[in-house]
């Protein structure tokens, strides 16, 4: 075989194939993977045939190749599985972020619809407070009203918005978080 004799290679192939097949199958539990590894082992033997003339124990040599190939294949599969798991986790995270973003946009839309239903004065006070971030004192000064009036004008919109949202199906947890933030 070391000199390229294909019949000698065929004898070695037929003599050892079933034996290493059983060993590899016991490790991989996959006939398809086992066949692939067996092929790889004998391809390597043929490609390294000139080195085989120095081998004294063919069985040990062939089984060592089979063991090494099997463990390399299993390591590669484990690495691929780990990578696949990481990619899947990233995709899930991205999907969750996307869903949360959509929920947030929908929730903001619902709140804006509720705000549009407020009286003009309450709407103005609410927008100055919650969207422009003005303090109660600044709003009172700007609108030339008392701070108590501003407080009353802020309390009513929150109740109206909450009632509007309670009537809306599918209000999410994120929407409730927005409401908590609005109340602050």
CATH classification of the domain holding 166: 1.10.10
pLDDT over threshold 90, residue 123: no
pLDDT at 179: 55
The pTM for the full model equals 0.45
Please check whether residues 128 and 81 belong to one and the same domain: no
Q: What average pLDDT does range 161-181 have in this prediction?
A: 61
Half-sphere exposure of 34 (CA within 13 A, CB side): 15
Residue 73 lies in a domain: yes
Instruction: Specify the number of domains making up the chain.
Output: 2
Residue 94 lies in a domain: no
Residue 166 lies in a domain: yes
Range of the domain at 55: 6-87
pLDDT at 35: 92
- Round to whole Å and give the CA distance between 3 and 10: 14
- Round to whole Å and give the CA distance between 48 and 58: 13
Local confidence band at 12 (pLDDT 50, 70, 90 cut-offs): confident
Residue 112 lies in a domain: no
pLDDT at 154: 78
Residue 118 neighbours by CB under 8 Å, 6+ apart: 126, 157, 160
- Round to whole Å and give the CA distance between 164 and 10: 82
Q: What average pLDDT does range 146-162 have in this prediction?
A: 79
pLDDT at 131: 76
3-state helix, strand, coil in the chain (%, to 5): 85, 0, 15
pLDDT over threshold 90, residue 41: yes
Residue 1 lies in a domain: no
Residue 98 lies in a domain: no
């Amino acid at each position: 075989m070391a000199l390229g004799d294909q019949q000698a290679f065929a004898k070695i192939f037929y003599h050892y194939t079933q034996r290493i097949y059983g060993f590899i199958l016991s490790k991989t539990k996959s006939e398809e993977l086992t066949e692939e590894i067996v092929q790889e082992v004998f391809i390597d033997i043929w490609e390294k045939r000139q080195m085989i003339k120095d081998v004294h124990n063919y069985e040990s040599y062939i089984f060592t190749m089979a063991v090494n190939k099997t463990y390399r294949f299993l390591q590669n599969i484990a690495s691929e599985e780990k990578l696949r798991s990481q990619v899947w986790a990233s995709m899930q995270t991205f999907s969750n972020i996307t869903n949360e973003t959509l929920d947030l946009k929908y929730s903001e839309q619902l709140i804006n619809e509720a705000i549009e239903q407020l009286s003009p004065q309450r709407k103005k006070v609410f927008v100055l407070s919650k969207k422009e971030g003005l303090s109660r004192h600044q709003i009172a000064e700007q609108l030339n009203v008392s701070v108590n009036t501003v407080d009353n004008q802020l309390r009513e919109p929150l109740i109206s918005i909450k009632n509007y949202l309670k009537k809306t199906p599918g209000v999410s947890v994120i929407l409730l978080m927005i409401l908590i933030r609005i109340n602050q």
